[in-house]
Amino acid sequence: MEKYDILVIGSGPGGYVTAIRASQLGLNVAIVEKAELGGVCLNWGCIPTKSLLKSAQVFDYLNHAADYGVTIEGTAKADFSAMVKRSRGVADGMSKGVQFLLKKNKITVIQGTAKLTKDRKVEVTNNEDKKETYEAKHIILATGARSRQLPNLPQDGKKVIGYRQALVLDKQPKSMVVVGSGAIGSEFAYFYNTIGTKVTLVEFLDNVVPVEDEEVSKQLARSFKKDGIDVRTSSEVTAVDTSGKLVKVTIKNKKGKEEVVEADIVLSAVGIAPNIEGIGLEEAGVKIENGRVKVNEFYQTSVEGVYAIGDIVPGQALAHVASAEGILCVEKIAGHHPEPLNYNNIPGCTYTGPEIASVGMTEKAAKEAGYELKVGKFPFSASGKASAAGHKDGFVKLIFDAKYGELLGAHMIGANVTEMIAELVTARKLETTGHELIKAVHPHPTMSEAVMEAAAAAYGEVIHI
């Protein structure tokens, strides 16, 4: 029986990062994967969606070339198949990159489906249905998540689809209903609408991207509507009829009025479900709480030597969270003294047009927590770089504790703001105050100047508005 110091189940951004860090710490490591290396994020999530979104952005630029003084003869056409092919190529390249990194770090890769046993070993069934058992001092579960299915919105993979099918459709649909306006739903709504699909976006709650600050949500809704997306908030899908050529989707608004919308495809983007079934949790005695694996601050489960990270544990279901959790987990195992992860300082990004990036408390949450606030907001319409780039939609909004100057939250919507949010995450980590942000010289002209200006606005010192 093969025996390892660390055996990781799942090779997504949680699993493969965990394995590599463990190897760097001098541990003998193996990783089990039943599908492609890199997991959902690299193969069916974060990376291929960003490839599609870049294709949509290029197409949008071409359609607005005249705005930049560029003349193009003829009309730009969206080659949907070529976009999908490029997306798959990018994903395949990243997966091969993970394979290289695992080999470089001398990590054993075991192909197959893993399951915990009663005696705390790992049984792996390969593609030929052959079973082999492995033993490790420490077993780390990083099995990720899948598209969540609603009882009234069953996915058939053809007319009612999840995000995986949305990445590889045979042809571009003429019309689509997207149910759910979180990051996944909003990104696909933006992509398909930009390349010419008629999109209806349905959100049960009062605002799109409902986890974001309300002002950000309202700005995205305005931008979406301006671009032609039919945004339906405070609405729910009560029935779906797939019997005809087109799908008939019954949508009920908050007043109880129902309307039937017809579309080629319905994309269900109502969240994710953790992959905790069939991996031997019950047999091994691992405790589940509220549908997630119960862990301590360093990801130890109720069973000694068994750990869990990523989408199957409480906390934000984000790739960078899973990676951070895995690193902390193995550093603790190796005898280091890592600081527990601060889940209140995790950045969230949505790669729509305009993009969204945020960290910390929303204004509403900060008020409900009893803080006296100083709020600064700087619009990109007043930014020289944003004007030059032709992307004036959006703003930076910073929320400070009036008493101590602590940065409680940062909320951005605009072009490339996902590349700007790390400054605010670092500022919060270092307990930077509003006045320190104002005095930190930002380069001109950049979009990032809006951070300094928003901080200045909170303290009545803003120059450019």
Residues with Cβ < 8 Å from 348, sequence gap 6 or more?
183, 211, 212, 316, 318, 356, 357, 358, 359
- 64, 336, 444, 464: which is the annotated catalytic residue? 444
CB 125 within 8 A of CB 119: no
Q: Which string of b and e fits 103-113 if b means at least 16 CB within 10 Å?
A: eeeebbbbebb
Binding residue per annotation — 6? no
The answer to whether the annotation marks 115 as part of a ligand binding site is: no
Buried b (16+ CB within 10 A) or exposed e, 221-251: bebbeeeebbbbbebbbeebeeeeeebbbeb
Distance CA 421, CA 412 (A): 8
187 labelled binding-site residue: yes
Asked if residue 315 belongs to a known ligand binding site, the reply is no
Backbone angles phi, psi at 379, to 5 degrees: -80, 145
Whether 243 has a binding-site annotation, put simply, is no
Cβ-Cβ contacts under 8 Å for 105 (sequence gap 6 or more): 19, 20, 23, 24, 29
The answer to whether the annotation marks 26 as part of a ligand binding site is no
The SS3 assignment for 5 reads: strand
Tell whether residue 358 is among the known ligand binding residues.
no
Q: What angle do CA 457, 462, 465 make, to 5 degrees?
A: 100
Nearest 5°: phi and psi at 242?
A: -105, 15
- Catalytic, 391? Answer no
311 annotated to bind ligand: yes
Q: Is 258 annotated as a binding residue?
A: no
Q: Is 271 annotated as a binding residue?
A: yes
> 443: cis peptide before it, omega within 30°?
no
Provide the annotated binding site for FAD.
Answer: 50, 311
Catalytic residues: 444
Provide the annotated binding site.
Answer: 50, 180-187, 203, 271, 311
Provide the annotated binding site for NAD(+).
Answer: 180-187, 203, 271
